[in-house]
Structure 1
Amino acid sequence: MIELARYLAPGAGVWWSQASAEPRPLVHALLDQIGELGPRRAFCGLTWDERLTRELPDTLSLVSYGGLGELRALSRAGRLDVLPCHYSALPRMFAEGLVPRDVGFVQVSPPDADGTCSLGIGVDYAADAVRHTPVLIAEINQRMPATVGTPRIPLSRFAAVVETDRPLQQAPERSPDATDQAIARNVADLVEDGNTLQMGVGPLPSAVLDCLAGHRDLGFHSGMISDSIMRLVDKGVLTGARKEIDQGTIITGAALGSTELYERLVEMPIEFRPASYTHAPATLSRLRSLVSINSAIEVDLTGQVGAEIRRGVLIGAVGGQVDFSRAAALTGARSIIAVRARSGAESTIKPVLEGGVVTTSRSDVDVVVTEYGAAHLRGCDLAERARRLIAVAAPEHQEALERSVPDRF
């Protein structure tokens, strides 16, 4: 196993790639050796590594852009420091040294004939962070595909490498339920042929994409892709033929899916770009056909969106929601927030946001969609917004919501 003390100067901060590209052997080496290395601060994004929640030592403090995946447990335990930033701000934060960046752990593809490696399915913030990180340590995984769209990294750039041949982490999967499918049908009705889509990953985005099988010439530009992309590519729906930029190409920063998706990436028209491109206002403003589809924890009666905190625990992130919602609302086609009408027995449409944090401003939301319909908010005053949102709330909560409408509305 690699001896990290040789490469981590005293007090050096660390970051590593996220999700399916997380270099677990290096992260586990850090956990195993932290007692010898002394107190450290590290940055990571989405992780599914349970060791971080079961065995995080007191001498290792974690900072992230949100409480995603296993980080939710750390957030609940008060062990996670969260940066409430837009995803588009991460490249600048790395450039300015506002996050740990002395040493970076990455998972890469085997070197090509020129001795260069690809960040594979985890380009996102990693490609931007690499530019500002003095010491890079790589896990070279024989199963990491070499993707296109971002310059490769020469072997000489790595201070050390470990070689593996292990399956890439598959994203946790939950099949869409009846509520997801009902919301998805309502969202799909708002998408027009030729639109360029942005959405996240998970059962609801998967259901939305499946509902779009009858559309034509859709484009895709998003921070992440999942298996549902394959189905629309195979059906000839995701052609990108009408995209204003990157025509004919699916643009993403990361892939979170199955082994089948990872193996098929090289045959599909997909380019992996850094966050400084995928989420940049200058990029998104050129996509006049952009339809952003994002989820929420709660929405208030003016259309403000909370997507970070539930019952006092940070379980989400600002992430790219505002980047894409604002672009879609101002210079694109439509900004959509999709939310289940209930969370347990509670309404997700609320008089005020109970989490106390506004993730996305009401001015950046065009439509709120639940399983009960679509509330079109663009151009509506506050009173009309409240009426429309109550109409798509769970029926058993509508009367209470009507009583809560402020007189000033």
Structure 2
Amino acid sequence: MIDLRPYVRPGDGVWWSQAGAEATPLVDALLDQVADIGPVRAFSGLTFNRRLREVPPELTLVSYGAMGELRRNRTVQVVPAHYSVLPRLFAERVLPGDVGLVQVSPPGPDGVCSLGIGVDYAGDAVRHSRILIGEINHRMPVTTGTPGIPVERFAATIETDRPVQEAPDRAPDAVDVAVAARVAELVEDGDTVQMGVGALPTAIMDGLAGHRDLGFHSGMLTDGVLRLVEKGVLTGRRKEIDEGVLVTGTAIGSAELYTRLGELPVEFRPASYTHDPGVLARLRRLVAINSAIEVDLSGQVGSEAVGGRYLGGIGGQADFSGAAARTGARSVIALRSTAGEASTIVPTLRGPVSTGRADVDAVVTEHGTAWLRGCPHEDYGARLVAVAAPEHRDALSRALEES
């Protein structure tokens, strides 16, 4: 195990890459040694690392949301911020940024390591870190689109030869497929799509198999993208920028996806590009497809917390939804009508507003599509009740009458 004490000082801020790009051996070393180092503030994004469910008292954990295993961590400090703002927060040293722990590919003939499947905020944060410590994983694929890191930039490295972490996920079910079919009706040939990860986004991607010449610009790339490229659907021929190129910040999926990235016309860009409002404004046919925890009868979207407990984050939803609604094609919120037995269409949100109603063109459930763009506010409630689960509609209608 690497000794981090020569590089991490008491009071330092440490960050690491997220999802499959997380430098897990280095993060685990920090968890093991932080009691000897002293108080440390750390930034983690989406994590599959179960050790981060509970961290030592010397470690203050910060994130942009309760993503992955952080949902089980009751002490994580969530910074409510649009994903597009993360680069600025690292530059201003608001987020922990003294020491970066990154997983990279082995250096090429030029001595440069690739950030592989995890460029996103790491591609911006590395520029502001005093020290970088690298896990050189011989199975991390080399990706293009963003300059790599010269090996001499690392203060210390370890070498591993471990499989890149796959994303745990459930397979889509009949409800997901029903929602996906309705979302597909809102996507036109030639549009550029953005969406997240999970069973529902997977179903939506598969539901687009009958479309033509779609583009892709999103913070995350999944196995569904691979399947649509194979079917000739994602060509990017009609994109206003990055024609013919899949643009993303990170890949989250299976070992097959990671192995076959070299076959795809994909460029991995930092968050300062993928989520930049100026860049997104140039995608005039952008369709943002995002999910939510709840949508209330006024059209407000909650994707962060319920009853004071964080279950997600703002992430890139507001960035993409806002761009799609204002300068793109359309902004879609897709969700199952129930979570367990509870309705996801609610009278009022039980948490903060993540995306304002003006940035939502349509809300889609398995029961229908509530088209809201250009709709008088007085009609929002009735349209949203109509796509709620039938067993909850009477209660929602009564709440609407009493409001």
What's the TM-score, normalizing by structure 2? 0.99
Post-superposition offset of 1:260: 0.5
Aligned counterpart, 1:329: 325
Alignment of 1:358 with 2:370, yes or no, is: no
Equivalent residue in structure 2 for 1:109, among 96, 105, 110? 105
2:273 to 269, 273, 277: 277
Distance 2:169 2:310 in 1: 22
Count of matched residue positions in the alignment of Structure 1 and Structure 2: 403
Q: Which moved more, 1:341-350 or 1:38-47?
A: 341-350
Match of 1:377 in 2: 372
Determine the structure 2 residue equivalent to 1:233.
229
Following superposition, the deviation at residue 51 of structure 1 comes to: 1.2
Which of 379, 383, 391 is 1:388 aligned to?
Answer: 383
Q: How does 1:293-332 map to 2 (within 5 A)?
A: 293-332=289-328
Structure 2: distance between partners of 1:173 and 1:237: 24
Q: CA deviation at 1:61?
A: 1.1
State the partner residue of 1:367. Answer: 362
Q: CA deviation at 1:279?
A: 0.2
Aligned-pair RMSD on alpha carbons?
A: 1.0
Cα shift at 1:183 = 0.3
Cα deviation 1:48-102 (Å, max 9, x = unaligned): 1011225x1111110000001110111xx3x110100000000000000001111
Given residue 9 of structure 1, which amino acid in structure 2 is its aligned partner?
A: R
Could you tell me which amino acid in structure 2 is paired with residue 31 of structure 1? L
Equivalent pairs: percent with the same residue?
A: 64
* Counterpart residue number, 2:136: 140
Equivalence for 1:65: 64
Contact 2:9 2:38 in 1 (8 A): no
Partner of 2:36 in structure 1? 36
Matched AA of 1:286:
R
Label 1:406 to 1:98 Cα distance change in 2 as closer, same or farther (>3 A): farther
Q: Which amino acid aligns with 1:72?
A: R
Q: What is the CA distance between 1:399 and its match in structure 2?
A: 1.4
Paired amino acid for 2:24: R
CA distance in 2, matches of 1:215, 1:139: 40
1:289 counterpart residue number: 285
Contact 2:40 2:58 in 1 (8 A): yes
* C-alpha separation in 1, matches of 2:340 and 2:402: 29
Which of 257, 260, 285 is matched with 2:256 structurally? 260
Q: Structure 2 CA distance, aligned partners of 1:213 and 1:347? A: 30
Aligned to 1:19: 19
Structure 1 stretches of 4+ with a deviation exceeding 6 A read none
Other-structure match for 2:198 = 202
Partner of 1:399: 394
Cα drift, residue 323 of structure 1:
0.0
Q: Aligned AA for 1:63?
A: V
- Specify the alignment match of 1:341 in structure 2: 337
Q: Shift in Å at residue 382 of structure 1? A: 1.7
Q: What per-residue deviation string (whole Å, max 9, x for no partner) do you get for residues 354-394 of structure 1?
A: 22x10000000000000001000011112211111111111
Matched, 1:167 2:163: yes
Q: State the secondary structure of the residue aligned to 2:5.
A: helix
Cα distance in 2, alignment partners of residues 381 and 405 from structure 1? 15
Where in structure 2 are there 5+ consecutive unaligned residues? none
Shifted more, 108-117 versus 28-37: the winner is 28-37
Q: Secondary structure of 1:124's partner? A: coil
State how far apart, in whole Å, the 2-side matches of 1:404 and 1:382 are.
16
Find the aligned partners of 2:375 and 2:18 in 1 and give their Cα distance: 40
Whole-Å separation in 2 of the counterparts to 1:238 and 1:126: 26
Q: CA deviation at 1:407?
A: 6.3
Q: Determine if the alignment matches structure 1 residue 81 to structure 2 residue 77.
A: yes
For residues 300-340 of structure 1, the C-alpha deviation after alignment (integer angstroms, 9 at most, x for no partner) is 11110001113431010000000000000000000000011
Letter in 2 for 1:33: Q
> Match for residue 245 of structure 2?
249
Larger mean CA deviation between 310-319 and 327-336 belongs to: 310-319
